[in-house]
Amino acid sequence: MREPHDSAARPPRTPNRRGVRAARPPNPHSPGSACSCRRRRCLPTGPEGKNVEDFTGPRERSDLGFITFDITADLENIFDWNVKQLFLYLSAEYSTKNNALNQVVLWDKIVLRGDNPKLLLKDMKTKYFFFDDGNGLKGNRNVTLTLSWNVVPNAGILPLVTGSGHVSVPFPDTYEITKSY
């Protein structure tokens, strides 16, 4: 992964805790049925934002967000005889002055049939850089994190399901410049 321009060490992980617990879903097989998730969220101390040049994309300074998260999920009921694997992903959705809708995948994971279906992940860093198209993260109070998954069958339809628990995350009004990530 290419380093952002600001080579000063990145800010520390001020954790934004978020837990999504999937309880037994009523009907896990029909596409679009979200499992009933019980949200367990500790007090967030807030994610951080910086404003750096994205070397992998257009060379303007855009906002770069840092979020750490926890995920607790029980995927057992989604696996049936026709499910080969699940592609889980955590996405952030928000709107800015520049764009009415932005969606960014922050983290993903492939869960194969046979893998442990109970996920207990703590203090996870985002897998992909959370770059905005512009400077819309600073002060953005309404960034929604959602866990979704793509069911890949042995053969058949490829449904995209969104988990029903989602968390709203506010970004601070100032940029972080000193601390390390």
Partner 1 sequence: MNKRQLYYQVLNFGMIVSSALMIWKGLMVITGSESPIVVVLSGSMEPAFHRGDLLFLTNRVEDPIRVGEIVVFRIEGREIPIVHRVLKIHEKQNGHIKFLTKGDNNAVDDRGLYKQGQHWLEKKDVVGRARGFVPYIGIVTILMNDYPKFKYAVLFLLGLFVLVHRE
Cα three-residue angle 16-143-31, rounded to 5 degrees = 100
In angstroms, what is the minimal distance from the CB of 1 to partner 1? 7
Cα separation, 65 vs 54, whole angstroms:
12
Residues 26-85 within binding reach of partner 1 (CB under 8 A): 56-58, 84-85
Q: CB–CB of 34/148 below 8 Å? A: no
Residue choice 3, 27, 32, 100 for contact with partner 1 (CB under 8 A): 100
Q: Burial of 80 by CB count in 10 Å (0-12 exposed, 13-18 middle, 19+ buried)?
A: exposed
Is residue 169 a contact point for partner 1 (CB under 8 A)? no
Amino acid at position 169, single letter: V
Cα separation, 31 vs 39, whole angstroms:
22
In angstroms, what is the minimal distance from the CB of 127 to partner 1? 10
Residues 127-156 within binding reach of partner 1 (CB under 8 A): 128, 133, 148, 150, 152-156
Look-up: residue for tokens 């967030």? 44
Is residue 104 a contact point for partner 1 (CB under 8 A)? yes
In angstroms, what is the minimal distance from the CB of 176 to partner 1? 22
Q: Burial of 105 by CB count in 10 Å (0-12 exposed, 13-18 middle, 19+ buried)?
A: middle
Query: In this complex, which beta carbon is closest to partner 1, that of residue 15 or of residue 85?
Result: 85
Residue choice 91, 119, 144, 168 for contact with partner 1 (CB under 8 A): 91
Query: Where along the sequence are the contacts to partner 1 (CB under 8 A)?
Result: 1, 56-58, 84-85, 87, 89, 91, 98-105, 108, 110, 112, 128, 133, 148, 150, 152-158, 160
